[in-house]
Amino acid sequence: MRKTYNIFGNPVQINLLSGNKIQKQTLLQQFALYDESEEEDNPNLIVTVYKGTIPHKTQALNPKIHIETEKGFISSFPKMSVGFENTKPLKIDVSLEVQRKGLLKYLKRLYNIQYNTIDQRISQILHELVLIPAVYFNSRQFLVHSSAFRKKTGGAVLIGGTGGVGKTSLEIELCMNRDYTFIADDISVLDDEGTIWPNLSFPKIYAYNLKNNEELKRRIFKNRGLSDKLAWKFKYLLNGASGVRRNISPEDAFEKFEKNKTKIDKYYILVKTNVEKISIQKINAQKASEMSLSVIQAEYFQFNNHILWHEFNCNAINKTPILKLEDVLLNWKRLSEKVFKNINCYVIYIPLHIDHKKFVKETADIID
């Protein structure tokens, strides 16, 4: 199966070389939110997914989970490997672990926080370990750890910060109750013209996001089997509200999602700190850039480590790296400062122990 989609403003060709009909349909269903590209024979990125070892000739192995190859490197993650070759077009290979059958497969699925298999997570894997890392190779784009939405009046709003600070809760409030249109759940792809491209990776909804929201709960569990619902209850009792989640299409969750690039209007960074009430402060582009870079480096530390190991191995065997982390981060700093100078950037300070419902309402009021 081969399909070419317009993702982050680039034609991306996705080849699924193995898998049954259901697995391929699952992949198509999730990527069908993107428009198919007219440049089918001229992609900027070629992604190949298959089961089995990525063909390569090992040049170095330092550390064991990083393989240096002739044209790039292979990053090893639990249950998969991702190989990068900085050719034209950029090539990224994905190798998935062969799924076991029977009881062991079910137990691993039950253990997973999302109650799904690696085959069912393929779209999420491609977004997080392939499509987002591919931005590192694009000199005109950079990443921000943020949710993003289009306002009723036009223009995009970004809500950034570290994990667990409340971005998803605000996403639900703004998209379900205040007529905002979904653009991105977790990672935003911005360009040097001050626009954001839709990242339609399925939003991750935790149990705590469903508190007092029966409509979203209904949408989450629509068409899910009894075993799925029982697994949710089991994980909730075992690990609490932060220990169980489900992915859901932005179309199913919020009904509306953006398919085109959108000019950025405002950027809010959420910070929990020792204050008595929610407050907002305008910040300059340099501060917004520095805070954003700190968070995105932490979010993508695993891939960043592989770039650093790639640099180490290249120095050891007298090879030119296909990219350097320092160069990427310096470029992102330059691009983000340029973009943030032309929009309004703010920090929203949140009390450490604020009632969640109060936080959502008051913060959404500020943003809205």
Q: How far is the C-alpha of 7 from the C-alpha of 23, rounded, in Å?
A: 21
pLDDT at 19: 59
Q: Is position 24 within any domain?
A: yes
Q: Is the domain of 362 the same as that of 303?
A: yes
Q: Is position 293 within any domain?
A: yes
Residues 41, 45, 48: CA angle, nearest 5 degrees: 90
Q: Is the domain of 179 the same as that of 292?
A: yes
Q: Is position 124 within any domain?
A: no
Residue 326's Cβ-count burial label (10 Å; 0-12, 13-18, 19+) is exposed
Q: Is the domain of 72 the same as that of 174?
A: no
Q: Is the domain of 178 the same as that of 302?
A: yes
Q: Is the domain of 147 the same as that of 74?
A: no
Q: Where does a domain end: 99, 129, 156?
A: 99
Q: Is the domain of 48 the same as that of 197?
A: no
Q: Is the domain of 57 the same as that of 160?
A: no
Q: Is the domain of 368 the same as that of 310?
A: yes
Residue-wise burial string across 309-319, b where 16 or more C-beta atoms lie within 10 A, e elsewhere: bbbbbbeeeee
329, 317 contact by CB (below 8 A): no
Domain count along the chain: 2
Q: Is the domain of 293 the same as that of 345?
A: yes
Task: Print the domain residue range for 42.
Answer: 1-99
Which parts of the chain register pLDDT below 70?
18-27, 98-112, 115-120
Q: Is the domain of 62 the same as that of 187?
A: no
pTM, two decimal places: 0.93
Q: Is the domain of 169 the same as that of 90?
A: no
Kindly report whether the peptide bond that precedes residue 89 is cis, defined as omega within 30 degrees of 0.
Answer: yes
Q: Is position 237 within any domain?
A: no
> Which residues, other chains included, contact 31 with Cβ-Cβ below 8 Å and sequence gap of 6+?
3, 5, 14, 123
Q: Is position 92 within any domain?
A: yes
pLDDT at 119: 62
pLDDT at 109: 63
pLDDT at 22: 55
Give the CATH number for residue 339: 3.90.228.20
pLDDT at 268: 98
The separation between CA 235 and the C-alpha centre of its own chain, rounded to angstroms, equals 24
Q: Is the domain of 92 the same as that of 145?
A: no
Q: How far is the C-alpha of 59 from the C-alpha of 74, rounded, in Å?
A: 11
